[in-house]
Structure 1
Amino acid sequence: MKTIPSLPKPFKGIVPPMITPLLDDDTLDVEGLERLINHIIDGGVHGLFILGTTGESTSLSYKIRHELVERTCEIVDGRVPVLVGITDTAATESLRLANTAAEAGAAAVVAAPPYYFSLGQPELIEYYEYLVERLPLPLFLYNMPSHTKIVIEPDTVKTLSKHEKIVGLKDSSANNAYFNKVLYKMKDRSDFSLFVGPEEIMAETVLLGAHGGVNGGANMFPELYVKLYEAAENGHVETVKALHDQVLEISTRLYALGKFGSSYLKGIKCALSVLGICSDYMASPLHHFRKEEREKIAENLEDIKVKIQELGLKAQD
């Protein structure tokens, strides 16, 4: 087993939820994966999260999931901590993937509630306790109620935080009231990491005490999100406003094209393909943008790159 890098407590910063570059449903775009990882790390991020929602984890075969973990850790080579999503309906599969992550050199794992049976909060606590007693790595809770039908309630977060190996929460609910309640409940636990997924609210949550963002746009423009996080952490409100406007520009012009439930993910993958970083193939049942939509993404992307460069930040050529 490789040496596992330790995470600081609290772990902080921008941890992009990496897309999974694919050539077809069961083949990784390995060259694109290497370009993508190097592009993201060169932007100054603080970690990398694979096999989350943005990584299409539930659409990938187990073979691809395990291969992605191994190849990602090999390419990253200890430059930043790697967090691995192990969410599954079967705890045995979550544990198998966690073991692969530990052997490959990942720093932690991330697990949302199982997404078929709707667990009550006592059952949810029992589930996470079952996992954590068997996991070889620290665990981040992952609140994603739109996909799992279950909210990890603030009191449940507080209860589970008492386990030494449960080290943080990633909240992708986009519910500010929920996240503020978690911040309040956890105000005496400065060592417990609290991250938000939706980039549209990352800056304001960091200003209020959150530890960072797991933001999809950092696949494309990592430096922008790092600078926004740093400005928010340091309380530089005017800089936050300028950079936050650009994040909303990305959200509006790249994530909302067409009438698809997956427009956000299609937009990121298409933009990365237009930028020449990796393939935009999406695993079934999803599919990438067609010609008309791709042309619109390319047009919007050119405008966004110009505005990012005007802010003095790097945009991919």
Structure 2
Amino acid sequence: MPIDLKMNPLKGVIPPMATLLSDANTLDLQGTTKLIDHLMHGGVHGLFVLGTTGECTNIAYPMRKELIEFACRQVAGRIPVLVGITDTSPAESLSLARVAADAGADAVVAAPPYYFGLGERELISYFGRLADQLPLPLYLYNMPSHTKTSLTGAAVLELSSHPNILGLKDSSGNAVYFNGMLYAFKDRPDFTLLVGPEEMMASAVLMGGHGGVSGGANMFPRLYVDLYTAATQGNLQEVARLQQMVMEIAAEIYALGSYGSSFLKGLKASMAVLGLGNGRLSPPLEAFDAQNMKQIENRLKGLKAYQTYA
């Protein structure tokens, strides 16, 4: 039975799980099992399959279906599983949501359709119709850097009245926007507000947010869980100590090269060093070459997070 996220609102660290590949057309299922076990052992509070960090738009549909079903079997109801269904076609989003529901997922996540930008009223209409038809609860996903469309605060407020829309994941990186959402929903503890950029997670929680969808948790899940816990407890000294580790990861691992995918390249290369996958990205993205892989390995092993949590 799915976890009832209406009665038990989602909170905590919900990693956007990296999609591990054996080759361009084959999932690394053995590696995925190891990764899920790694995340669960690290104490994460949920799992987000086929998010941006999971290279959702590049993964072929048969592989998406296989990954959803495999991840749900491995998690086996121990924590909530969220599935990304973002697409340019509403019919494809609904089809993927049905796969997720049949596999035993607990909710779906959707960003605005990309390519043609939608106006505010169009966005409200789109998400409202989508939520009406979905077999699972929906979390809105604000990702303007990739979709070229922003979910306005007014749109989120209006959509929050829909009984099948349970929250927002904001990856805009705009602290003013997110703080505005925190204020708007200060009397709605049932509506989950999660932040995407991991550098913002602690401050968001200190201000009343409910957690983060932190890509770095693929490497060091316990670090991000410890940071979330310290923030919920208001332990500012511990927050400051752990935040330094998170910022060091961002500076050393995510910023190598001038690629639009530098974050993913650095993350997957680091995961490979940690024995989680082989560093491969889904085409048309390419993994780091041997020289850059060596740089990542050296940088990773110099991190305080590596020395503390690896």
Shared fold, TM over 0.5:
yes
TM-score interval (norm. to shorter): over 0.9
2:34 maps to what in 1?
35
Superposition map of 1:233-272 within 5 A? 233-272=232-271
CA distance in 2, matches of 1:285, 1:115: 18
Q: Is the 8 A contact 2:13 2:46 kept in 1?
A: yes
Match of 1:308 in 2: 305
User: Are the counterparts in 2 of residues 154 and 178 from structure 1 also a CA contact under 8 Å?
Assistant: yes
Distance 1:159 1:276 in 2: 45
**What is the distance in 2 between the residues matched to 1:259 and 1:217?**
19
Q: TM-score, normalised by structure 1?
A: 0.96
**Percent of paired sites with the same residue:** 54
Deviations 1:71-120 (A, max 9, x none): 11011111211000000000111001100101111010000000021111
CA distance in 1, matches of 2:27, 2:174: 34
- Alignment root-mean-square deviation, CA: 1.0
- Structure 1 residues 53, 309: CA separation in 2 closer, same or farther (over 3 Å shift)? closer
SS at match of 1:58: coil
CA contact (8 A) 1:266 1:288 kept: yes
Kindly provide the amino acid, as one letter, of the partner of residue 120 in structure 1: G
Aligned 1:203-214 pairs, distance under 5 A: 203-214=202-213
CA distance in 1: counterparts of 2:75 and 2:269, whole angstroms: 23
Question: Is 1:9–1:192's contact at 8 Å kept on the other side of the alignment?
Answer: no
- Give, in angstroms, the shift of residue 227 of structure 1: 0.4
- Whether the 8 Å contact between 1:112 and 1:142 is mirrored in structure 2 is yes
CA distance in 1, matches of 2:262, 2:252: 11
Matched, 1:158 2:157: yes
2:229 counterpart residue number? 230
**Using the alignment, how far apart are the partners of 1:14 and 1:203 within structure 2?**
11
Q: Which residue of the partner structure matches residue 50 of structure 2?
A: 51
**Following the alignment from structure 1 to structure 2, what is the Cα–Cα distance between the partners of residues 223 and 235?**
18
The alpha-carbon distance between structure 1 residues 283 and 308, as it changes in their structure 2 partners (threshold 3 A), is closer
For the residue of structure 2 that corresponds to 1:57, the secondary structure is coil
1:309 Cα deviation (Å)? 6.6
| 1:3-52 deviation line (CA, Å, top 9, x unaligned) | 22222543100000011001122110111010011001100000000101
Residue 6 of structure 1 is matched in structure 2 by 4
In the alignment, the residues of structure 2 paired with residue 75 and residue 249 of structure 1 have an alpha-carbon distance, to the nearest angstrom, of 32
Partners of 2:246 and 2:131 lie apart in 1 by 35
For the Cα contact (< 8 Å) 2:87–2:93, is it kept in 1?
yes
Q: Provide Cα deviations, 1:161-181, integer angstroms capped at 9, x if missing partner.
A: 001110000000000011111
- Runs of at least 4 residues off by over 3 Å: none
Q: TM-score, normalised by structure 2?
A: 0.98
Please, which runs of 5 or more residues in structure 1 have no aligned partner?
none
What amino acid is aligned across from residue 148 of structure 1 in structure 2? T
SS in 2 for 1:288: coil
Which string of whole-angstrom CA distances, capped at 9 and with x for unpartnered residues, describes residues 261-284 of structure 1? 101001111111111121211111
Mark the runs of 5 or more structure 2 residues left unpaired by the alignment: none
Alignment of 1:12-91 (within 5 A): 12-91=11-90
Contact 1:9 / 1:193 at 8 angstroms: preserved in 2?
no
- Deviation for aligned residue 1:314: 3.1
Displacement of 1:260: 0.9
The residue number in structure 2 matching 1:123 is 122
Counterpart position of 2:183: 184
